Copies of this chain bind each other. A is one copy, B any other.
Amino acid sequence: MGNNRVGIQTIAFSRQPRIASSYTIVGPLEGKGPYALEFQEILPDDTLQQKTPEKTERLMLEMAIEKTLQQNDTKISDVQFYIAGDLLNQIISSCFSARTYPIPFLGVYGACSTFCEALGLGAIMLQGDFADQVLIGTASHYQTAERQFRYPIEMNIQHHGTNHHTVTGAAAALLNLGTEGPRITHATFGSIVDWGLKDANDMGSAMAPAAFSTLKQHLIDTGRKIEDYDLILTGDLGKQGSKMLKILLSHENYTGLERIQDGGASIYSDQQKTGAGGSGSACVAVMTLGYLKNKLNSSKVKRVLILATGALLSATSSLQGDSIPCIAHGIALEA
């Protein structure tokens, strides 16, 4: 068994790669939510003067990367990999953003869990001596996701209470083996969990079993309990999915459930009428690199687990009557 592994599904990073710098951008709606002060930049409008929301999404990602590199005074030529993904077909926000950076690009896809897939792979590159510095990024936009997965917003389709609202935002991070920023200690990459749920208007319920499965395996692999974490940030189960996750955990007598908080269920206030809460690949990314990183930096929390969930459906698979395969990747961070 490889010496970087603990248990069945978990990788332990003895070299403790760090999130050396990062930048988060959110749209106006997220900028009016309860976590507004945690993000580095709030856009005055959700267009950035671009002709299409797809171009806005891409530009947000490029802005986040630019600021992340600036913050750490790093030239792109000193970075060995850019790892990114997003919700759009053929992950075009990521692919097009990568044009600006002449370094090896690895496109990844895990729906709303994409950020943790990139974060874990970036840590692997550093731990295994494949890179000195790795850049990761993701973005999403309410309008691009709505028109790709559901209907154009101009149609003003009524939403269900269990519908998520895709976060408009972008986040990027620079990972290295330096001395600044939160340390990445473990990654538990998830396997697909599909309990047969088919309702694309309730992805929280579909994803909860995946979050449950990865959390359980992570705790077994590391010999930890929920109480060993000051905070477990799931994303993006939303209100419905969070409820389901806690039911699943209670059934197996887990304790410390009050330490679990969902990024999607938190990012908007109830008054903002966003259904079950936020989703989109930017959601858990801005909540981690904004809110959670701030808490770690100010030592309000010492050890946290991010548990990013993804619903790996497409409009085509739903139309063809398929259920929703889900996944969750767990990443443990320490101050």
Contacts and interface: CB of A to CB of B under 8 A. Distances in A.
Given A130-B5, A316-B54, A322 B106 contact: no
A119 to B, nearest CB: 12
Interface in A286-328: 312-317, 320, 322, 325, 327
A140 to B, nearest CB: 13
Interface in A166-197: 189-192, 194
A114 to B, nearest CB: 8
Number of identical monomers bound together in the oligomeric complex: 2
Contacts of A54: 316-317, 320
A121 interface: yes
A117 interface: yes
Chain B CB count within 10 A is highest, among A4, A131, A191, for A191
Interface string A71-101: 0000000001100010111111001101101
Nearest to A82: B191
A26 to B, nearest CB: 23
A255 interface: no
Chain B CB count within 10 A is highest, among A103, A110, A315, A317, for A317
A261 interface: no
A109 B91 contact: yes
A325 B95 CA distance: 7
A158 to B, nearest CB: 25
A105 interface: yes
A155 interface: no
A56 B143 CA distance: 32
Given A104-B9, A189-B104, A191-B105, A89 B129 contact: no
Given A81-B189, A190-B104, A191-B102, A316 B88 contact: yes
Contacts of A108: 106-109
Contacts of A105: 189-192, 327
Given A54-B320, A105-B327, A90 B92 contact: no
10 contacts: A3-B129, A4-B129, A87-B90, A89-B315, A91-B109, A101-B191, A106-B110, A107-B108, A124-B128, A128-B129
6 tightest CB-CB pairs across the interface, nearest first? A128-B128, A2-B129, A104-B189, A95-B312, A90-B314, A107-B109
